Amino acid sequence: MSPEMATRLIDDLGALLLVTMLIILASGQLFRAIYAVAAQAVFLGIAGAVLAAATGNVDLWVIAGITIVIKAVALPWLLIWVVKRIQMCREIEPVIPISVTLAFAAAIVMLSFHLSASLGPVRQAVTGNALPVGIALTLLGVLVMASRKKALTQMVGLFASENGIFFVAMAVSQGMPLIIEIGVILDVVLGALVMGIMVLRVRSTVDTDIADLETLKG
Amino acid sequence: MTSSLLWIAPLVPTAIGLCMLLVRNPRLLGVLDVGGSTVVLGLALAIASQVDAAGPVSAAGILRADELSVVFLVLVGLLAVATSVATVGWMRQELAQGEMRADRLRYYYALVHGFIATMLVTVLADNLGVLWIAMEGTTITSAVLVGFHGHKHGLEAAWKYIIVTTIGISFGLFGTVLVYGAATHAQGGVQAGAMNWSTIVALSHSLDPGIVRIGFIFVMVGYGTKAGLAPVHMWLPDAHSQAPTPVSALLSGALIKCALLGILRFHTIARGACGPAFSEGLLLLFGLISVVVATPFILVQHDLKRLLGYHSVEHVGIIALGLGFGGRIGVFGALLHVINHGVTKALTFLIAGDAINRYGTRDMRKMRGYLGLAPWGGTLLLMGAFSLAGAPPFSIFISELMVLRAGIGAGHYVAVAIFLVMMIVIFAGLIHHVGQVAFGVADQTADRGREARWPLLGMLLLAVVMVLLGVCMPAGIDRVLTRATEIVLG
């Protein structure tokens, strides 16, 4: 695959990542948000495969595979399992109206592209528009977490935010060293497991959403 | 020889933690806990003396011990020993009160050692990716510990802690990726050790300043969240106050310092790439906000452990201020403050745990006459409080004075003025709170039992270090801190 072709594909995939992110932001239903974050991880995996083909770096194939298995299958499955287990209300209650959230999102995307356009020659170290897309995804993930009250939506925002980082990490030079990527993914999985267990424990002991607990103040 | 020590140091607590999972006998668990921590401290001191004698040691380009990491390494080892010794007595009490179930003890101990192991990797990491992985590892292990009791409050604090710091340090990962990208770009391709701090620092002058600047902002916010710097400190007072007492001591004394080391690593890179003004300015800003934000919460606080938590925000702010003022005195003072605050805060958390146990409440308005109930603990509490408030002859006074001197030397008069005012207000607030707890007449309901030997031993160990560092500066520590300062200043 020629570098130009790879750049174009990465740009296209970056656009798809942003679209899935907007679906997460706009969704009023928890399942839709979970499926969107899974789809995002699939695009991320495809981006990894494209970069692997373009750079000839075998490690990236492995990373693409792990991404799809863990982030597109295992973690969404974990989320859905927890949702079914606690039989919670599946509507998402936004703290601020979704239209306002989307306006914020547009501002963040523009800011990210502006920021990265101000960078000098070092942009060549990152394929295509991966850098602004990555920055935007990371910040939008935080926006999801800040604008939603439910624990599981916060986890979705966290995963989406991490997808943005993985996107840049793949597109930078020839990707991060394989062993580091595996360590990072291991941390993500362990963290998700611990969070899932906490949600279940609170649900079983006090029957509320863990993110709704607000007794510690001042 | 020394390079294998670097591997052994984190492996010892890992192995001991795994062994603990198989042990059910509480007494044996306690022995393993104290023994394991002592070995960790011994290894830390061995590495420190090697580094002091023969300079930085590297292990396979993944771990590295230099004078800077040694400062944090010995702190982690020291606090591990002190808290594990205190845990012996604390655990007996918890079991007697039914707070801790005997069949779950082994998980607690194993997690504590896992937590210590991840902290050791954090301070010894040369590879910035390994640094991040270990940092997230500390979050996961300690979050489980914060919610270990399974109370509603504990779980709430643990959730806030894990969700805020995980998203926070994912920003740190982003910053790491950007700096790595800048480094490979400067090298013209991926070379061996391209992700290593030692490699990147060596070529920091040729890094693209634009991308390093963005990377440092991400790292500052990310690891700053983990370090408890305001305005991203919201989780800290909750987590540090709800955790089991020995864990509180480790979180406040050691863990937030490990996150600061992460910031320091990137600070040195940013200094080289963009000049000192940028990252120092950012550290100064975060430090000042932390000191200012913590002050009102310290004044109006009624929960003893939350008070100490907010106090940690303030002190992390002071360390950041020292680094932000810069210069040899500022950085030296900040590093000295890392040790001083770590030791003192762990000490006060251990005492706070005992006081809360005796009164059956965390509310300082209901605690009176602690000095009468526990003469040793009360004396140590007063000493710790005066030390935390920055009174001579304790160690924190000296490091704070250095930070102030650096600020005046660098001409940051406004920042120094704000800092001084806050210090005075906090001094008054803290001494007021602690004075009320220590003096007066205790309620009839308060526990008047004799002071347990083991917790006292752990506290005394810390108190001795706190007092010694206040009145003298051992030549070895001075030498290591001076060289660590040189590493930070490049």
- Give contacts of A153 with chain B, Cβ < 8 Å: none
Q: How many residues does chain B have?
A: 490
pLDDT at residue B295, as a whole number: 93
Q: Do B174 and A122 touch (CB under 8 A)?
A: no
| Cβ-nearest to B152 among A161, A183, A206 | A206
pLDDT at residue B173, as a whole number: 94
Chain segment B132-153, per-residue pLDDT in tens = 999 999 999 999 999 998 888 8
What phi and psi, each to the nearest 5 degrees, are found at residue B489? -85, -5
Q: Is B61 on the interface with A (CB under 8 A)?
A: no
> What is the rounded distance in angstroms from the CA atom of residue B137 to the CA atom of residue B162?
11
Whether residue A19 contacts residue A96, with contact meaning beta carbons closer than 8 Å, is answered with no
Q: Do A218 and B185 touch (CB under 8 A)?
A: no
Pick the closest to residue B200 from B271, B134, B132 (CA basis).
B271
- Please tell me which residue of chain B has the smallest CA distance to A183: B133
List CB contacts of B176: < 8 A, sequence separation 6 or more: B128, B129, B131, B132, B215, B219
Number of domains in chain A: 1
> What is the rounded distance in angstroms from the CA atom of residue B89 to the CA atom of residue A126?
55
Q: Is B158 on the interface with A (CB under 8 A)?
A: yes
Give the model's confidence band at A89: pLDDT under 50 very low, under 70 low, under 90 confident, else very high: low
Whether residue B333 contacts residue B405, with contact meaning beta carbons closer than 8 Å, is answered with yes
List CB contacts of B200: < 8 A, sequence separation 6 or more: B128, B179, B180, B183, B194, B207, B269
Chain segment A157-173, per-residue pLDDT in tens = 999 999 999 998 888 86
Give the model's confidence band at B200: pLDDT under 50 very low, under 70 low, under 90 confident, else very high: very high
Q: B10: which 2 tokens?
A: 């984190």
Q: Do B162 and A124 touch (CB under 8 A)?
A: no
* Domain assignment present for A216: no
* Domain assignment present for A212: no
* Residues B340, B342, B344, B347, CA torsion sign: negative
What phi and psi, each to the nearest 5 degrees, are found at residue B363? -80, 120
- Helices and strands counted in chain B (H then E): 20, 2
* pLDDT for residue A204 is more than 90: no
Chain B 397-436, residues with CB within 8 Å of chain A CB atoms: none
Chain segment B350-406, per-residue pLDDT in tens = 999 999 988 988 899 889 989 988 999 999 999 999 999 998 889 899 999 999 999
Angle between helices B304-325 and B327-359 (to 10 degrees): 180
pLDDT at residue B2, as a whole number: 73
- Please tell me which residue of chain B has the smallest CA distance to A127: B181
List CB contacts of B331: < 8 A, sequence separation 6 or more: B322, B323, B406, B485, B488, B489
| Cβ-nearest to A210 among B156, B182, B238 | B156
Chain B 75-134, residues with CB within 8 Å of chain A CB atoms: 127, 129-130, 132-133
Look up tokens 């950012």; give the residue: B282
- Give contacts of B139 with chain A, Cβ < 8 Å: 191
* Domain assignment present for A213: no
B65: enclosing H helix or E strand: strand B63-65
* Domain assignment present for A132: yes
Q: Do A173 and B189 touch (CB under 8 A)?
A: yes
What is the DSSP secondary-structure string of A8-73?
HHHHHHHHHHHHHHHHHHH-SBHHHHHHHHHHHHHHHHHHHHHHHHHH--HHHHHHHHHIIIIIII
Q: Do B152 and A118 touch (CB under 8 A)?
A: no
Mean local confidence (pLDDT), B19-29: 90
Beta bridge partners of B64: B58
Q: Is B197 on the interface with A (CB under 8 A)?
A: no
List CB contacts of B137: < 8 A, sequence separation 6 or more: A187, A190, B114, B118, B121
Angle between helices A75-86 and A30-55 (to 10 degrees): 170
Q: Do A180 and B174 touch (CB under 8 A)?
A: no
Q: A124: which 2 tokens?
A: 């060549």
| Cβ-nearest to B159 among A164, A190, A210 | A210
- Domain ranges for chain B: 2-489
A164: enclosing H helix or E strand: helix A151-171
ipTM score for this prediction: 0.92
Look up tokens 């693209």; give the residue: B208
- Give contacts of A161 with chain B, Cβ < 8 Å: 167, 170
pLDDT at residue B1, as a whole number: 62
Q: Among A199-208, B40-49, B82-91, B300-309, which is the least confidently predicted range? A: A199-208
pLDDT at residue A179, as a whole number: 87
Q: B358: which 2 tokens?
A: 């005796």
* pLDDT for residue A208 is more than 80: no
* pLDDT for residue A122 is more than 70: no
Mean local confidence (pLDDT), B198-211: 89
| Cβ-nearest to A213 among B152, B180, B185 | B152
> Tell me, what DSSP letter sits at residue B404?
H
* pLDDT for residue B464 is more than 90: yes
Q: Is B60 on the interface with A (CB under 8 A)?
A: no
Share the mean pLDDT of chain B: 92
- Torsion on CA atoms B89, B46, B471, B298, rounded to nearest 10: -50
Give the model's confidence band at A209: pLDDT under 50 very low, under 70 low, under 90 confident, else very high: confident
B57: enclosing H helix or E strand: strand B57-59
* pLDDT for residue A78 is more than 70: yes
What is the distance in angstroms between the Cα of A210 and the nearest Cα belonging to chain B?
Answer: 6
> What is the rounded distance in angstroms from the CA atom of residue B84 to the CA atom of residue B21?
17
Classify residue A172 as left (phi > 0), alpha (psi -120 to 50) or beta.
Answer: beta
Q: B320: which 2 tokens?
A: 């950041």
Mean local confidence (pLDDT), A136-146: 91
Q: How many CB atoms lie within 10 A of CB B4?
A: 11
* pLDDT for residue B279 is more than 80: yes
Whether residue B373 contacts residue B439, with contact meaning beta carbons closer than 8 Å, is answered with no
pLDDT at residue B217, as a whole number: 94
Give the model's confidence band at A120: pLDDT under 50 very low, under 70 low, under 90 confident, else very high: low
Mean local confidence (pLDDT), B277-286: 94
Q: How far from the centroid of its chain's Cα atoms is residue B240's Cα?
A: 11
Letter string b/e over residues A66-99, b meaning 16 or more CB atoms within 10 A of that residue's CB: bbbebbbeebbebbbebbeebebeeebebeeeee
Classify residue B207 as left (phi > 0), alpha (psi -120 to 50) or beta.
Answer: beta
Pick the closest to residue A47 from A15, A79, A70, A74 (CA basis).
A15
Beta bridge partners of B59: B63
Q: Do A119 and B150 touch (CB under 8 A)?
A: no
What is the DSSP secondary-structure string of B368-395?
--HHHH-HHHHHHHHHHHHHHHT-TTSH
Letter string b/e over residues B448-462, b meaning 16 or more CB atoms within 10 A of that residue's CB: eeebbebbbebbebb
List CB contacts of B1: < 8 A, sequence separation 6 or more: none
- Please tell me which residue of chain B has the smallest CA distance to A130: B178
What is the distance in angstroms between the Cα of B133 and the nearest Cα belonging to chain A?
Answer: 6
Q: Do B184 and A190 touch (CB under 8 A)?
A: no
What is the biggest distance separating any 2 CA atoms in chain A, rounded to whole angstroms? 58
Mean local confidence (pLDDT), B155-177: 92
Whether residue A190 contacts residue B140, with contact meaning beta carbons closer than 8 Å, is answered with yes
pLDDT at residue A123, as a whole number: 66
